[in-house]
Structures are given as C-alpha cells and as structure tokens.
C-alpha cells in the first residue's frame, strides 16, 4: 500500500510516464484506447485542473463530459454514479459515447 501511495500519488509516476510495470515504463503516452472523462466540477478529489496535465500527454482521442454536481449528494465524488440528475443527464451521454466507440 505504501508503494502505491508513493508511486502513484506522491510521485505521480503514471502521469509522468515513469511507472515501471514488468520492466516497462507506462504512462498516458502509451494508452491506445479512446478515453472518456466524466468530471464532476464540484468534486475536490479529482478536479478538472488535476486531469488536464494527464490528458495533454495522451496520444489517443479524448472526450470530456462535465457534470456540475447536485444538491443532496453527500459524497460529490460519487454523485456522478448515484445522483438522480446524473442518471438523467450524464449516463445517457456516457452510454451514447460507448455505443459510438463500438460502431
């Protein structure tokens, strides 16, 4: 657990392309799948500003859906998954994006 915290969180190795897995360095530059980011703009755990450096290093197609959060959701970080407004407004967009990726 300490190694995960140090390498992924404190040292940000994956974003920097310096995370070593089976003698190979991995990072955003090596991703080969289109990526959808669903961002809760009220979230303080993973705000949009913290994701931009990662996506700028990606070589694949990315799309972002922003969700403003909603009142009554105790944990805003999970609001995208369980919020009433998210189910009505965000999830259809996520499912549409997935459908487009699969032809």
24 and 52, same structural domain? Answer: no
Full residue range of the structural domain in which residue 87 is found: 31-101
Tell me the pLDDT tens digit for each residue of 36-56.
998 888 877 788 888 888 888
Single pTM value for the model: 0.74
35 and 11, same structural domain? Answer: no
72 and 49, same structural domain? Answer: yes
In the block, which residue shows the tokens 């990726």? 101
41 and 87, same structural domain? Answer: yes
78 and 63, same structural domain? Answer: yes
DSSP codes of every residue in 33-77? S-EEEEEETT-SSS-HHHHHHHHHT--S-EEEEEE---TT-S-HH
41 and 22, same structural domain? Answer: no
Domain count, the chain: 2
38 and 16, same structural domain? Answer: no
* Structural contact between residues 69 and 43, judged by C-beta atoms closer than 8 angstroms: yes
67 and 20, same structural domain? Answer: no
Please report the pLDDT score of residue 92 as a whole number.
Answer: 93
Please report the pLDDT score of residue 70 as a whole number.
Answer: 80
23 and 42, same structural domain? Answer: no
91 and 69, same structural domain? Answer: yes
51 and 18, same structural domain? Answer: no
């Amino acid at each position: 657990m300490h190694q995960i915290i140090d390498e992924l969180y404190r040292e940000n190795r994956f974003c920097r392309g310096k995370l070593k897995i089976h003698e190979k360095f991995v990072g955003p530059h090596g991703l080969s799948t289109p990526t959808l980011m669903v961002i809760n703009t009220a979230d303080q755990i993973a705000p949009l500003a913290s994701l931009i450096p990662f996506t700028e290093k990606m070589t694949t197609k990315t799309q972002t859906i922003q969700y403003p959060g909603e009142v009554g959701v105790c944990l805003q970080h999970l609001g995208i998954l369980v919020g009433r407004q998210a189910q009505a407004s965000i999830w259809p967009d996520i499912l549409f994006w997935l459908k487009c990726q699969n032809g």
